Chains A and B, each alone.
Chain A
Amino acid sequence: AQSVTQLGSHVSVSEGALVLLRCNYSSSVPPYLFWYVQYPNQGLQLLLKYTSAATLVKGINGFEAEFKKSETSFHLTKPSAHMSDAAEYFCAVSGLTGNQFYFGTGTSLTVIP
């Protein structure tokens, strides 16, 4: 089965600092990859997705992620953290059949003023 691994269940950054959230996937073929964000007591919303087009994907709120096949990685970055970025972030991958979906365990981002 497809899977994703998120390194670091908790990440803290200072306001204005670089945000880097790590995600590695396991797949024998290039998958479809996603980052979702969950704000406290809310459902998830899509940040960005990779579907085999450009390897650098830009999403909402200034986030971007780069698909690196050689490293089987899809790390999420943002140049300058804002207080409003504090949330839980989930990397996800679709199954080979197209109708299965696997989330990582999530990374909680804290932004320190």
Chain B
Amino acid sequence: NAGVTQTPKFQVLKTGQSMTLQCAQDMNHEYMSWYRQDPGMGLRLIHYSVGAGITDQGEVPNGYNVSRSTTEDFPLRLLSAAPSQTSVYFCASSPQGLALDTQYFGPGTRLTVL
């Protein structure tokens, strides 16, 4: 099993550009989530999904869109990048809900917005 994979590893954008961060898992997990990690702030939940076709907002959803068309994939879209979105982004999956179960994290995407 590859676990949770994320692409790209690094990305530099200009303000206003759009892009999609990819996340895939091969563990048949129902739950997937996106976090951003900023210095001194820990990780904050952006969006999560409890299954294909079902998504919901986390703590810091503004500026990000998600969709979940398959169990395996959970892309994160930035429609118009802003410097405040410079961060490291982690995708995670878990067999059951966030409350009870282990989350398995991808290696992260380091995004810089100029």
A and B held together in a complex: yes
Interface positions of A (Cβ within 8 A of B): 1, 9, 32, 41-46, 49, 51, 90, 94-95, 98-106
Indicate if the CB atoms of A44 and B90 lie closer than 8 Å.
Answer: yes
Interface positions of B (Cβ within 8 A of A): 4, 31, 33, 35, 40-45, 48, 50, 56, 58-59, 90, 92, 97-100, 102-108
Indicate if the CB atoms of A101 and B106 lie closer than 8 Å.
Answer: no
CA distance A102 to B44 in the complex (A): 7
* Chain B neighbourhood of A104, CB < 8 A: 42
Q: A44-B90, A44-B105, A49-B102 are in contact. Are A99 and B97 (CB under 8 A)?
A: yes
Indicate if the CB atoms of B102 and A105 lie closer than 8 Å.
Answer: no
Q: A43-B4, A99-B56 are in contact. Are A105 and B41 (CB under 8 A)?
A: yes
Q: Can you offer 13 A-B residue contacts whose CB atoms are under 8 A?
A: A32-B100, A42-B108, A43-B106, A45-B104, A51-B100, A98-B97, A99-B56, A99-B99, A100-B58, A102-B59, A103-B35, A103-B43, A105-B42
